[in-house]
Chains A and B, each alone.
Chain A
C-alpha cells in the first residue's frame, strides 16, 4: 500500500488514487497529419521501464486532481510529484 504525496492534499494512502499509467508525450497537435505508426505509438505503446518512471495519478477520492508521480517500478520509491498540467 503506497503512501502517495498528493501535491494538493499531502501524503494519502493509495486507496484514494487511481493510476493513469505512464506519462507519455502529449497528444499530437494534428492527429490527421501523423502516420498510423506514429498514432499507434501515442495510443498504445509505453516504455514500461524497470526503474524510475513518471506516471499520472488521479486523486479520485480527494482533490480530484491529476498529477505526475516519479516512481521506481522496482522499489516503489517515489522520488517526486508534480502538480500542474501533468507535464
Chain B
C-alpha cells in the first residue's frame, strides 16, 4: 500500500512521561497543523502507551481538584485527529505495543509494523525524533 507524503513526521520514542516531550510533541503538532502542514505521528517503545484504549477518556481524579476532569492522552490524540481530519495520522508500532501490553489501541490509531518505519520516514519531508527508545 503506498504511503502518502507528509510534510513532517514526529517520532515519539521511549518513555513519554520522563520529560515534557509529549507536551512539546503535541504542541508542535498542533502548531504545524494550524499552519497547514500535513503530519504523521509515530510512537515507539513506551510512547505507544499514550494511545492505549485502557487509559480511557480522562485521567484519574486530581485530589487537589476533585471536581475537575483532565483529558487522557488518548483523548488528546483524538482531539488532534478530529480537529485536523485528513491532515494528521497517528501510527503506533505494532511490535512495541504488543511487547508492552499497549493493546488494544484506540481505533483512531493505526498499528504499523516497524519494518515500514523507514518507508514512512522516506515519505516525510522532515522527521523529528523525540526521546530514545
User: Are A and B bound to each other?
Assistant: no
Which residues does A use to contact B, with CB under 8 Å? none
